[in-house]
Amino acid sequence: MKAKLVEIFKSIQGEGLYQGQEQVFVRFYGCNLKCSFCDTKSLFYTKEDLFCIMEKINDLGDFHSVSLTGGEPLLQIEFLKQLAKTLKENKRKVYLETNGVLYQNLREIIDFIDIISMDFKLPTSTNVKILWKEHSKFLKIALKKEVFVKAVIGLNTSEQDLIECIHIIKKIKSDLFFVLQPQNPYEKQLKSKMEIFEKICQQHKINVKIMFQLHKKLGIR
């Protein structure tokens, strides 16, 4: 069995609660969504088998964890299952970066995952359809492991979408960390919007954090 991969490389995690940790990124090709701000679209992939991927990962030495990312890694669930299981057998920490929609696939793999970084895809941020039900189901399964959620906030993001996220968090696990990530950290208008959104979260007693994409600020991958 082979996976469609875009790249494998070592860098630091630029987003979310593990920002700054050294990871090996295994970037899977393809996604089930089309977010308007997507910066990981790729037309190219190579087909690689498990042995070859493990060899590349092990050649990269020591690091905090292996980030299974995309695109949407859960789309290639049969291969992902094999890879995540093998990583665990090799005593590697497995970190899943996901758009939080394919909950049935998550169920198949959850035992081999250590940390889940799940995105809320807000319709007014992404221009994709409403996915609240899928996100709720996903999060319930993800709770078996360490999980945090994040959302990209842009100038068009509505307060109503933020409130939907808050409702889901409060219903499923009220102390979950919620990372608000500005789409463009240099946009002045967005800065004040981020502060308003942070206050709204705090008023609802949500563990909220505003975090920029560190790798973009540092100009690294």
Among 1, 2, 9, 34, which residue sits at the site for ligand SF4 (rule: CB under 6 A)? 34
Is 36 one of the binding residues for ligand SF4 (CB under 6 A)?
Answer: no
Per CB under 6 A, which of residues 98..117 are in contact with ligand SF4? 99
Closest CA to 215 of 30, 98, 35, 67: 67
Contact predicate 24/8, CB 8 Å: yes
Is 221 one of the binding residues for ligand SF4 (CB under 6 A)?
Answer: no
Is 154 one of the binding residues for ligand SF4 (CB under 6 A)?
Answer: no
Among 6, 35, 113, 118, which residue sits at the site for ligand SF4 (rule: CB under 6 A)? 35
Is 124 one of the binding residues for ligand SF4 (CB under 6 A)?
Answer: no
Do you find a cis peptide bond into 71, omega within 30 degrees of 0?
yes
Is 70 one of the binding residues for ligand SF4 (CB under 6 A)?
Answer: yes
Q: Which residues of 174-202 are buried (b: 16+ CB within 10 A; e: fewer)?
A: eebbbbbbbbbeeeeebeebbeebbeebe
Among 38, 130, 155, 196, which residue sits at the site for ligand SF4 (rule: CB under 6 A)? 38
Tell the smallest beta-carbon distance from residue 84 to ligand SF4 (Å): 19
CA distance 112 to 96: 10
Q: Which is nearer to ligand SF4, 40 or 156 (CB)?
A: 40
Total residues interacting with ligand SF4, rule: CB under 6 A: 10
Tell the smallest beta-carbon distance from residue 122 to ligand SF4 (Å): 11
Which window, 45-53, 64-72, 75-83, 209-217, contacts ligand SF4 (CB under 6 A)?
A: 64-72
Distance of CA 90 to the CA centre of its chain: 23
Is 33 one of the binding residues for ligand SF4 (CB under 6 A)?
Answer: yes
- Per the DSSP assignment, residues forming a β-bridge with 116 are 96, 147
Q: Give, to the nearest 10 degrees, the angle between helix 159-172 and helix 188-203.
A: 30
Tell the smallest beta-carbon distance from residue 36 to ligand SF4 (Å): 9
The one-character DSSP state at 76 is: G
Residues in contact with 50: Cβ distance below 8 Å, sequence separation at least 6, in sequence order: 1, 79, 82, 83, 86
Tell the smallest beta-carbon distance from residue 193 to ligand SF4 (Å): 20
Among 14, 71, 73, 154, which residue sits at the site for ligand SF4 (rule: CB under 6 A)? 71
Strands (E), the chain: 2-12, 22-28, 46-49, 65-69, 94-98, 115-119, 146-153, 177-182, 207-210
Interacting residue ranges for ligand SF4, rule: CB under 6 A = 31, 33-35, 38, 40, 70-72, 99
